Amino acid sequence: MRKNNTFAPQDLSFFNLKSTSMFTLTGTVESIGDVQQITDRFKKRDLVLFIPNESKPEYPNRVAFQATNNRIDSLNSVAPGQQVEIKFFINGKKVNTRRGEMVINNLDISEIKTLSQPQGASTQQPQQQGYQQQPPQQNNANNAPVPPQEDDLPF
């Protein structure tokens, strides 16, 4: 398993999950979905985490998480491109469909911690508006102002 993941069970006991089993993953937020109202009492919001694959960089991992009900607001302070640490629970249930029985797993966010700013975000302070000192004006031999020369650069 990856070094920064605490999800590395040494035996198969993790298949008998209890509600207190929490796991941690670190990665970059790829996308955050809109809030979805599923029923009167249940709503959710999805987040996709990008996790590079150190052993095979051409096959990165994308892991989908969900924040539900009172944990949805924890995603308001997160933006795509940010490095985050997510603590989550694994919830699974068996359902009957037309094609037979199947198991649905959800990774439910318990906590989310921001580790960095979004890529491309500036950490510099904005420049103050107002008075800015102008360079001194140049004069020619007749003491007349010299007009500024135009650049011949294409940009």
**pLDDT for the residue numbered 79:** 94
Q: In the structure, what pLDDT confidence band is assigned to residue 132 with cuts at 50, 70 and 90?
A: very low
Structure tokens at 79: 């933006």
Q: Which of 17-26, 28-37, 95-104 has the lowest mean pLDDT?
A: 17-26
Higher per-residue confidence, 147 vs 42: 42
The H helix count followed by the E strand count for the chain is 0, 6
Q: pLDDT tens digit string along 49-67?
A: 999 999 999 999 999 999 9
137 has a pLDDT exceeding 50: yes
**pLDDT for the residue numbered 120:** 59
> What is the total residue count of the chain?
155
- Whether the model pTM is above 0.85: no
**pLDDT for the residue numbered 58:** 92
The answer to whether 131 and 88 have CB atoms below 8 angstroms apart is: no
Q: pLDDT tens digit string along 66-89?
A: 999 999 999 999 999 999 999 999
- At the topology level, CATH places domain 21-114 in OB fold (Dihydrolipoamide Acetyltransferase, E2P) (2.40.50)
Higher per-residue confidence, 116 vs 80: 80
Look at residue 1 and give its three-state secondary structure.
Answer: coil
- Cα 33-36-38 angle, rounded to 5 deg: 150
